[in-house]
Structure 1
Amino acid sequence: MIHLPGPCRFVAARHSQTFKAFYATIRNLRQTAIHEPDDIEPSENDFILSILKANPSLRDTKFYRDHFGTPLVLPKGTLLPSKFLDVPQPTDVQPTSVTETKSSRAKAEQTTPVPLVASILNPVYRRTALVKIQGPFSDVQLDSIARGLVYLEKLGLTSVIVVENDQSVRGDEGERANLIEETMRVVTTLEKQGAKARPVLGAVVRLGPKPGDDNLTESNDFVPPEAHAMPSDLIAIRSALRADEIPVLPPFALDSFCRSMRVDANDVIAALARGMAEAAGVKSNTEKEPSNAAHDVTKDVDLTPLRLMIINREGGVPSYARSGYPHLLINLSSEYSHIHDTFHESWKHSNPTALSNLSLARQCLAYMPPTSSAIMVSHRSPSSLIANLITNKPAVSSSLPHALLQHNSKLTPHTPTLLRRGLPISVLRTTADIDRRKMKSLLEQSFGRILDEAPFYQRLEKCLDYVIVAGDYAGAAIVTNEPCPDSSSLSYLDKFAVLPNHQGDGTVDFLWVALHDESYGLGLPFSINPNGGKEGKGEGRDLVWRSRCDNPVNKWYFERSTGHMRMGSWVLFWCDAEKRLKTEEGRRANAGLSFVEDWEKGRLSVWTDVAAKVPSSWK
């Protein structure tokens, strides 16, 4: 018997504890609830705390900086005073005397705005958001909403607000006066919170399709808005934004006889989304400043809507996969019809406007930039608007393991739903269905290496299980069946790739959810998403993959895998088949799972051997 000194015994015991704790952590994720602090709304003076609670990543910070950092544009011939830049400034005309030199410099400093100085003193480039305040709300609730919108303005996102009152019956006497009163109430509340607001009580949109829409071909059941706005109709909104005021509108529109009448707020917002985006495009193409004119960055407001925010009393869109709790993230390109088909009858009473707001988000995002998103949020969670602005992500990632999403304190009936235009998802079963040119481009851009194409496809011909493709090869997951010594096969994630310009726009989560539904999540009710594959029918399989130790994506893999193990310069990851775990847990009732089940013994050594034999795909 070998006796170890005290420190060595401690290290050995520690190693044993670490090994057990590794499995214990995984098992606990399956059995226990994840308790996190409640989302307590910050006090009215705690703006910084609201930002810190968003917990942005480096990519989130870069996204915010790219969209809200002031674009420094120096017009040709602009003079910068030497006290700001300690370099000689060229001039086209030489002064005739020292006195003239001093006077010309002083005049330039007084009359010429300096972009560099303006960008330092006011570093936020303002963008716009379309906001639907779907009341009625009490004074306290409206104060909370207004505080969140004021916080957004401090971060560079100026709201264009349309006020709706669900309790105001269409056609009632005095409805117009009531809506105007509600609009003024919102204006007053915003000003009480320190913002400047302007009521725009005249109709800025017109009923009916935009001239020329009759020639458009509708695709995927997409219907253009039933109202429209021309660039000239947006003068009042543009004026308010240039004056640093938040425009607040009632849901009015002009009919064919130029009469102002009440319409559905969704029609007004959809028309504004299209009209503002088109007006911004016209301005950028036609309005050119003279070469000797200074660029006043402090007054710039990009009229293109960057966000759509629907603030109501009911929260997001209920999900069948979360027992009626809201969807976390919706891919409108692939899930829109499925959400309608799985919408329970009872939700039409508890969430009566969920589907109409879903349709509104789809309409608006069709005209907004690809990086834009929509959020449906309850008045109880205004701080989530800040998190959405900075991170452009849902409150909890939808691609996390289901064990982490169950009983999470962040998941409540009032958890916001984030909606993206998204991409269609398709599942390919043979190599003949793969567009090799596009796949090669995707893999090489994602991994930054040259694909050894011939042997790569020769191997796929023998062992390909399926390929999940997002959009037009914006992302792909390649899964193979690798032979095992016992004549079985291992489901192996050979490649998971997303184009760099689609990283951060939701494509990664959409792709991983589809991968979950086709592999380790197969056979469970919440895996019946319409991804073009098996749609939840079948038996789930363990999914295994490897990644280099220095891969920066490993942190993301750690959060989504059941377990991991170091194997030399690689890390082996795996996800256990969820249906098998559910069945075993149900059979044992409260006994739970052990650290290592009988069917798990020895599998890691098999997996490492199989993974180590997978050849490189690169030159």
Structure 2
Amino acid sequence: MLSHTVLHGPHMLAPAAASALKARRTQTFKAFYATIRSLRQPPPTVEVDDLDTSDNDFILSLLKANPSLRDTKSYLATFGVRPQLPERTNPVYPSTPLDTSNSSFQKEAPDISVNKSTEQVKPSPSPIVSSILNPVYRRTALVKLQGPFTDKQLDSIARGMIYLEKLGLVSVIVVENDQLVRGDDGERSALIEEIMRVVTALEAQGAQARPVLGTVVRLGPKPDDDDLPRPHDFVPPEAHVYPSDLVGIRSALRAGEIPVLPPFALDSFCRSVRVDSNDVLGALARGMVEAAALEGSDMKPDPHADYSQDINLAPLRLMIINREGGVPSYARAGFPHLLINLTSEHDYIRDTFDPSWSKEKPSSLANLSLARTCLAYMPPTSSAVMVSHRSPSSLIANLITNKPAVSSSLPHALLQGNRKLTRDTPTLLRRGQPIQVIRNLAGVDKAKMNYLLETSFKRTLNADAFYKRLEKTLDFVVVAGDYIGAAIVTNESSPDSSEPISYLDKFAVLPSHQGDGTVDFLWVALHDESYGLGHPFSINPNGGKEGKGEGRDLVWRSRADNPINKWYFERSTGHMRLGSWVLFWCDAEKRLKMEEGRRANAGLSYIEEWEEDRLSQWADAVTKVPSVWK
């Protein structure tokens, strides 16, 4: 988040900055901290999926996930930590919960007395690894296994399911085979054979699996569905489940087995018929959530009790594993979307879906609607992931971090040059929030905005002075949901320029929504309304300019010791230190692209002539922005 109080000594900084810029004007090397104009390539990494299967494969997948402190805390809050008791012989340090005050994850070495002549000391396990590998609360995931798959591909997928089970996420799998035409003779026996292949693959990887061949769901909408309030364009699944129908699934889960189901439903004549697997998954998502709510009162209240035999039926994840991967995006030349806000982007993605993509990815839109249906019933913190069978290890990263493989709010130059982005990159989907752009202060709910800013910054707002200033300088406000996040952009005057400076005055997200995708959704909308204007990938349905217009450089400042600065460094074009402050900026992408084209192979220099004086102007302008805190 941004912090905004007055800087001191602005007029002493400007000449020094101008002098330094002029001295370096002729340099042609790229500044590692000041520009992303050339495509910065990340260092080569070893893909886990390229390694031979071994006992270390699971640990390598954990390391590849590279969870942050917040990701780890969120995971442990969901699945809990099982304390480890020290052994009586050869004692080692027990596994302890994550110390949130130590971001470096350091642990003191144990002091152990050893008789070196008789035995060796067993190494003490990492407390973080021990915590992750010993989940207390087991949660469920709905999995659509959309084949057909070869035996080798099934082995790879089964290995991913085992990884998730080790982390506390137990899968409920619905198997589909796209090559089996509905109504053909022998389709039932062929589907049952597919079920047994999946069960065999899971057991070959060391799991316990159970084929649930009895019909679980019932065909048709649930009675009284028409009386329930829902969005006008939301269509419930054409199947439903009662809690009593989940006996087979619940029994398998409590026995430590992975239930594997065919896409069968019971029709009005009590016949078991094949239906669309998406209807089965939608019915299960709703039914399992309702069953979990009924069982909620039976949960043990003691936080220290052993819940290892209990299962929370409410699905935490929806996983769609297929041969196609994620949903293709017009902004990435057909490469998959990274993160989708279903509330605000669902219809637009359908409208901009290129018909040519239907040949390679015929089920993308159907799976997009499946994710929307299931997440409408699942808890707000749940998410869905669409992933290719070639990337099973990415499921671990999704579970631990609940984030896309690459942040969708990164600059497009970094996204286009990122080695992690392939046609098999998973798409993460969230229920998300509506995004709106407000260009008049009268349209801002001041009471909600005050609560958002004060809660996010943990300071008291001088509301009268703040809104009095916005009456003169406001450009636009991007609001996420019901004021769970907001970005406020103003026009700041500069005596050395006739054009106002576009200044990010406030960027805030409620603490309860940090880490659920709202920050990325908000920044993407901010990009589309400011420095991203003019590009086709900025044509998003956020109620703003929808990509029409000329982009403007966006400027903001932050305390030098602000822990969020790492996030800003990754998303800004460059930065300049101003004493105890840091000035960040994002270049107007369309203008920068045109300038790169004009220079051709010569590339852009460290500082171009047309930008020689702007940093000193920005430094002078932002230091004059008054504080709005009491």
TM bin (shorter chain): 0.7 to 0.9
Q: CA deviation at 1:481?
A: 0.2
Question: Is 2:528 the counterpart of 1:517?
Answer: yes
In the alignment, is residue 472 of structure 1 matched against residue 482 of structure 2? yes
Q: Which among 129, 144, 148 is matched to residue 132 of structure 1?
A: 144
Structure 2 gaps, min length 5: 1-19, 84-93, 95-130
**CA-CA distance at 1:487 after TM superposition:** 3.0
Which whole-Å CA distance do the structure 2 matches of 1:175 and 1:490 have between them?
Answer: 65
Cα distance in 2 between the residues matched to 1:577 and 1:188? 55
Cross-structure match for 1:160: 172
- The answer on whether the counterparts of 1:23 and 1:596 sit within 8 Å (CA) in structure 2 is no
Q: Tell whether 2:210 aligns with 1:198.
A: yes
Matched-pair contact (CA < 8 Å) for 1:70–1:123: yes
Name the residue aligned to 1:362. Answer: 372
Aligned to 2:113: none
User: How far apart in 2 are the matches of 1:20 and 1:494?
Assistant: 33
- Whole-angstrom CA distance in 1 between matches of 2:36 and 2:144: 41
What's 1:402 paired with?
A: 412
- 1:447 corresponding residue in structure 2: 457
> For 1:245 and 1:340, how far apart are their aligned partners in 2?
38
**Higher relative contact order at CA 8 Å, sep ≥6: structure 1 or structure 2?**
2
Q: CA separation of 1:148/1:176 partners in 2, compared to 1, >3 Å: closer, same or farther?
A: same
The C-alpha deviation readout for 1:343-373, integer Å capped at 9, x for no partner, is: 0011111100000000000000011111111
Please give the alpha-carbon distance, in whole angstroms, between the structure 2 residues aligned to 1:120 and 1:410: 25
Instruction: Give the 3-state SS of the residue equivalent to 2:381 in structure 1.
Output: coil
With structure 1 as the length reference, what TM-score do the two structures score? Answer: 0.87
Report if the CA contact (8 A) 2:48-2:64 is conserved: no
**Separation in structure 2 between the aligned mates of residue 442 and residue 218 of structure 1, nearest angstrom:** 27
Taking every aligned residue pair, what percent have the same amino acid on both sides?
Answer: 72
Distance (Å, rounded) in 1 between the aligned partners of 2:266 and 2:34: 60
Structure 2 CA distance for partners of 1:205 and 1:190, relative to 1, 3 Å? same
For 2:29 and 2:232, locate their aligned partners in 1 and report how far apart those are by CA, in whole Å: 50
Partner amino acid for 1:571? V
Q: Is the 8 A contact 1:36 1:408 kept in 2?
A: no
Partner of 2:315: 305
TM-score by length of 2: 0.85
Cα gap change, 1:354 to 1:289, in 2 (>3 Å): closer
Q: Which amino acid aligns with 2:458?
A: G
Q: Which residue of structure 2 lines up, in the alignment, with residue 335 of structure 1?
A: 345
CA apart distance, 1:538: 0.2
Aligned length: 557
Which of these two proteins has the greater Rg computed from alpha carbons? 1
Partner secondary structure for residue 269 of structure 2: coil
Distance 1:195 1:313 in 2: 23
- The more displaced of 218-227 and 298-307 is 218-227
Q: For the residues of structure 2 that align with 1:617 and 1:571, how far apart are their CA atoms?
A: 19
Letter in 1 for 2:76: R
Alignment match, 1:36: 44
**Residue type at the aligned position of 1:195:** A
Residue correspondence of structure 1 range 403-442 to structure 2 within 5 A: 403-442=413-452
* Alignment-mate amino acid for residue 348 of structure 1: S
Q: Does 1:326 align with 2:372?
A: no
Aligned-residue CA RMSD (Å): 2.2
How far 1:124 sits from its partner (Å)? 2.9
Give the deviation of 1:407 after TM superposition: 2.8
**Whole-Å separation in 2 of the counterparts to 1:532 and 1:36:** 40
Distance in 2 separating the partners of 1:515 and 1:193: 46
Considering fraction of residues, name the structure with more helix.
Answer: 1
- 2: CA distance, partners of 1:189 / 1:505: 34
Which residue of the other structure, out of 240, 252, 256, is the alignment partner of 1:244?
256
- State the Cα distance separating 1:399 from its structure 2 match: 0.3
Aligned to 2:466: 456
Q: 1:306: how far off?
A: 0.1
**1:120 & 1:382 partners in 2: Cα distance?**
18
Tell me which amino acid in the other structure corresponds to 1:169: V
Match of 2:220 in 1: 208
Checking the alignment, whether the CA contact within 8 Å between 1:401 and 1:561 is kept in structure 2 is: yes
Conserved? CA contact 1:24–1:595, under 8 Å: no
Residues 201 and 250, structure 1, Cα contact 8 Å, conserved in 2 = yes
User: How far 1:24 moved relative to its partner?
Assistant: 5.2
Residue 217 of structure 1 and its aligned partner are, at CA, apart by 3.5
Per-residue CA shift, 1:138-168, capped at 9, x if unaligned? 0000000000000000000000000000000
Q: Deviations over 1:44-99 (max 9, x none)?
A: 42211100100000000001000011599xxxxxxxxxxx9xxxxxxxxxxxxxxx
- Check the 8 A contact 1:229/1:272 in 2, yes or no: yes
Q: CA deviation at 1:218?
A: 3.5
Secondary structure class of the residue paired with 2:498:
coil
Instruction: Specify which of 11, 31, 41 is matched with residue 23 of structure 1.
Output: 31
Is the alpha carbon distance of 1:268 and 1:536 closer, same or farther for their aligned partners in structure 2, counting shifts above 3 Å? Answer: same
Post-superposition CA distance 1:502-550 (Å, at most 9, x none): 0000000000000000000000011101111000000000000001112
